[in-house]
A and B are shown apart, each in its own frame.
Chain A
Amino acid sequence: MSAHPNREELFDLYALGVLEGDELADFGAHIATCDSCAHKLAEAQGRIALLSFAAPPALPSPGVKESLLRQLSASADGRTLDVEEPHLPHTGFRAGWWNAIFAPAAVALALATILLWVSNNHLNNEIERQKSDLQQLKQQTDQTNAILELVSARDTISVPLAPSPEAKGATAHVLYNARLGKMFYSDTLSAAPPDKSFQLWLVPTSGAPISAGILTPEPGVGSRMIATMPPGIAAKAFAVTIEPAGGSPQPTGSKVLVGPAS
């Protein structure tokens, strides 16, 4: 059995669904084999589930309960469709005559219902897709606005970063505005070594380096990042270091890119 999670909050973070990568895999593997941790996780799941009570109150329409109860009755009867059976009189010629008229009409109605249902499903899917696209567009617009604000501010500084021999040929650039606490970074790095991450740092004129985040270069493209920093931090330099996967609170690895702010 693997070691118990070394931080208590991992149970709640796992229940919240925010863990990813090795952290998620390690935790999941341990939980599957450890009863005491599985019990802790059950408690964390319950705590996190309480967040449901923060949702704005909403009541379903009465039709949902009606439909549910009809569904129960249908399943109890062994029926799968919730259709009322018509009570037509069975009186010889008269019944046959009506059946001759209504049978094709019922078939046509059923076909029309199926077509409407398919069309409705298609429209619902389309609405879902457009909502998702709209959300992505909003994110892109927000990012573009942040870059515009940064570029157009007179007190924004532009800092090229020079590569170490380890990252020979790579280029990188930082736009930073201390007043706004905003940074835009771009590079042409290729992927980090296995089990390692590139991490971007702001080195202030006084105090320890501040992480601006983990870089995730795309093959042939490099990395792009918009970072929000605490406002009012004067920069002495910017650097990218190689850190253990997921990053470090402070730089521990070698510098691959460095640029002095002045």
Chain B
Amino acid sequence: MIPASSSASGPSSGIDQHSSDWTLIERIVARDETALASLYDRYSGLVCAVLNRILRDSAAAEEILQDIFFQVWRTAAQFDPARGSIPGWLAVAARNRAISRLRRRNPGQGEELFENAIVLPFNVETEAAQKQMMGKVKGVLGNLPKEQREAIELAYFEGLTHSEIATRTGDPLGTVKTRLRSAVETLKKKLQP
């Protein structure tokens, strides 16, 4: 049981703020609720931001947020640090679930959380690292040509494919493909450690 002093409180709750993600996962596997609370404090902002950006509905976003962290609790034993990182999985799970909800597809409440390997090129376990990453990614996107930035945002935050983006923007399919190819090449160059 979580001690009353640590429940529902923010980062200053006395919960361990210094353990690595992997240590927290090991403690979660051992059924330590304070470890999940720490992981939640660390990444709920990131997950909530993605969900809100896609859904633009805070109630739906919070429902999925809770569900994702409960899934971490249930499936933590499947986590393999050699196959990726927790923030990567959480961000991808948030994006997939939100887009499924947005497009009224079966959200697949299942076990996809740790299914695909996702290697995040940076360590973002601290709040400072997350803020730094936010600035870096926004800077890279902000420097893309407007059409490339719009295309990549339609793809990532609305889950649209090449032809769906072409339909949405009224641009030729070939133009959309060229824009996205250029955009991901730039991201690859600029978002290297």
Show the binding face of A for B, using Cβ within 8 Å. 9, 12-13, 16-20, 38-39, 41-43, 45-69, 71-73, 75-76, 124, 127-129, 132, 139, 142-143, 146, 211-214, 226-228, 246-247, 249
Contact = CB atoms under 8 A, between A and B. Distances in A.
B146 interface: no
Interface string B148-172: 0000110111011111011111111
Nearest to A227: B172
A226 B180 contact: no
Contact of A51 (B1, B66, B117, B137): B137
B118 A46 contact: yes
Contact of A58 (B2, B10, B45, B121): B45
A45 B7 CA distance: 34
**In the A-B complex, the 4 residue pairs with the closest CB atoms:** A213-B172, A42-B117, A66-B8, A55-B53
Nearest to A45: B118
Contact of A55 (B52, B116, B181): B52
B162 A19 contact: yes
B30 interface: no
B91 A52 contact: yes
B187 A12 contact: yes
Given A65-B44, A214-B173, A53 B88 contact: no
Interface residues of B, number: 86
Contacts of B160: 18
Given A51-B152, A228-B170, A13 B181 contact: yes
A18 B162 contact: yes
B137 A54 contact: yes
Contacts of A16: 152, 155-156, 180, 184
A136 to B, nearest CB: 10
Interface string B173-187: 111000011001101
Contact of B161 (A19, A48, A75): A19
Interface string B136-152: 11100100000000001
B95 interface: yes
Contacts of A53: 46, 130, 133-134, 136-138
Given A50-B191, A53-B130, A146-B170, A75 B119 contact: no
Contacts of B36: 68, 72
Contact of B133 (A50, A56, A67, A226): A50
A45 B152 contact: no
A186 to B, nearest CB: 15
Interface of B: 1-2, 7-10, 31, 33, 36-37, 40, 44-46, 48-53, 57-62, 65-66, 69-70, 73-74, 83-85, 87-88, 91-92, 94-95, 101-102, 104, 116-122, 130, 133-134, 136-138, 141, 152-153, 155-157, 159-163, 165-175, 180-181, 184-185, 187-188, 191
A60 B172 contact: no
Given A46-B120, A65-B8, A69-B8, A57 B159 contact: no
Contacts of B1: 73, 76
Contact of A45 (B119, B122, B157, B180): B119
A261 to B, nearest CB: 18
B70 to A, nearest CB: 6
A50 B184 contact: no
A72 B184 CA distance: 40
A29 B186 CA distance: 27
A249 B174 contact: yes
Which of A38, A50, A213 has most B Cβ within 10 Å?
Answer: A50
A52 to B, nearest CB: 4
A33 B69 CA distance: 31
Given A45-B116, A56-B53, A227 B157 contact: no
